[in-house]
Amino acid sequence: MPARHPASVTRPDFRGDPHAGQHSGHSCLWNGRMRPGIIRLRKSRPRCDISFLRWTYAGSLETHMKWTGGCLCGAIKYECDEDPVSAGLCHCRRCQKWSGGPYYALVGFPTATLKFTKGTLTMFHEPGAIKERGFCGRCGSPIWDRYLVSLNDFRPEKGDPSGPDIVWIPIGTLDHPEKVELEFHFGVESKLPWVKIDGDLPQTRSEDDPGIAAAFQAARNGEI
């Protein structure tokens, strides 16, 4: 059978068909001319946020959350990508004054990892003290509590790290304070009689840490 001339081929007429050519990426014939087909693009799948995951030094994968918080009025906001180094309740008189409560619920983060995303703290130093403290200048919420010296420099034996590298934050200023796990009670010599301590968390008196008394004495003597 002789080949038919291309001009004699019946060309399909896609006029009036709104779906013509939409089912493939190929060109289609329209009124005797080539018409590009309409390509339907698939919607991209949402990317999974894996910022809460990290690899440990042993090579295992563990969950890791971002800690966020701020003051009462919202003028101060902060965040931290590292887990707390410790958390507990301090019953000493200085912390009662600072927090305005029967004890100070505090959580410690590495200073270098704590970032303020909104606002600037108002800072002050206690007279003859070894700490700096910061609060919101608008609503007065306490936010920042940090030793200016390393207590290990005043201890006969090195203990838990506590110095400029760690900043203590009131647990109540966190967006999710319920996720903090307490590890200690400190300054229990000043614990109010109607405060009951349940559980088996360690209880330490201020004088049981020789580094604190020695550091305060050095500050009063003008040595630091």
* Pair (123, 209) in one structural domain: yes
Q: What is the pLDDT of residue 101?
A: 96
CB atoms within 10 A of CB 162: 22
Residue 114 inside a domain? The answer is: yes
Evaluate whether residue 187 is within a structural domain.
yes
Domain holding 190: CATH number? 3.90.1590.10
How many Å apart are CA 129 and CA 90, to the nearest integer? 17
Given a cut of 50, whether residue 222 has pLDDT beyond it is yes
The answer to whether residues 130 and 192 belong to one domain is: yes
Residue range of the domain that includes 127:
66-220
Count CB-CB contacts under 10 A for residue 172: 17
| Mean of the per-residue pLDDT values of the chain | 77
In this structure, the answer to whether residues 25 and 134 fall within a common structural domain is: no
- 162 domain residue, yes or no: yes
Express each pLDDT in 106-150 by its tens digit. Answer: 999 999 999 999 999 999 987 777 889 999 999 999 999 999 888
Which among 204, 206, 205 is positioned nearest to 217, based on CA atoms? 206
Q: In sequence order, what are the residues at sequence separation of 6 or more whose Cβ sits closer than 8 angstroms to the Cβ of residue 39?
A: 25
pLDDT for 106: 97
CA distance 182 to 200: 11
Q: Domain check: are 37 and 80 in the same one?
A: no
Give mean pLDDT, residues 11-32.
43
Query: Does residue 184 contact residue 104 with C-beta atoms inside 8 Å?
Result: no
Same domain assignment for residues 72 and 179: yes
Window from 21-35, 91-105, 189-203 with minimum mean pLDDT = 21-35
Task: Mention every residue, 6+ apart, whose C-beta is less than 8 A from residue 162.
Answer: 108, 147, 150, 151, 152, 211
Q: Which residues pair with 54 in a beta bridge?
A: 62
pLDDT at 159: 64
Ranges of beta strands (E only) in the chain are: 28-30, 33-35, 53-55, 61-63, 67-70, 77-80, 86-90, 104-110, 114-118, 122-125, 131-135, 142-147, 166-170, 184-186, 203-204
Contact 20, 14 (CB under 8 A): yes
Q: Which of 8-17, 79-88, 123-132, 204-213: highest mean pLDDT?
A: 79-88
The model's pTM is 0.68
Question: Residue 214 above 50 pLDDT?
Answer: yes
Asked whether 96 and 102 are in contact (CB, 8 A), the reply is: yes
Q: How confident is the model at residue 64 (pLDDT cuts 50, 70, 90)?
A: low
Per-residue pLDDT at 100 exceeds 50 = yes
Same domain? For 40 and 73 the reply is no
Residue 6 has pLDDT above 60, yes or no: no
- pLDDT at residue 7, rounded to an integer: 46
Residue 53 inside a domain? The answer is no
Window from 21-35, 65-79, 85-99 with minimum mean pLDDT: 21-35
Q: Which of the four pLDDT bands, split at 50, 70 and 90, describes residue 161? A: low
Work out the pLDDT band at 41, boundaries 50, 70, 90: very low
Residues 108 and 28 in one domain: no
User: Is the model's pLDDT at 8 over the cut of 90?
Assistant: no
Structural domain includes residue 134: yes
Asked if residue 106 lies in contact with residue 171, where contact means CB atoms within 8 angstroms, the answer is yes
Percent of the chain with pLDDT over 90: 50
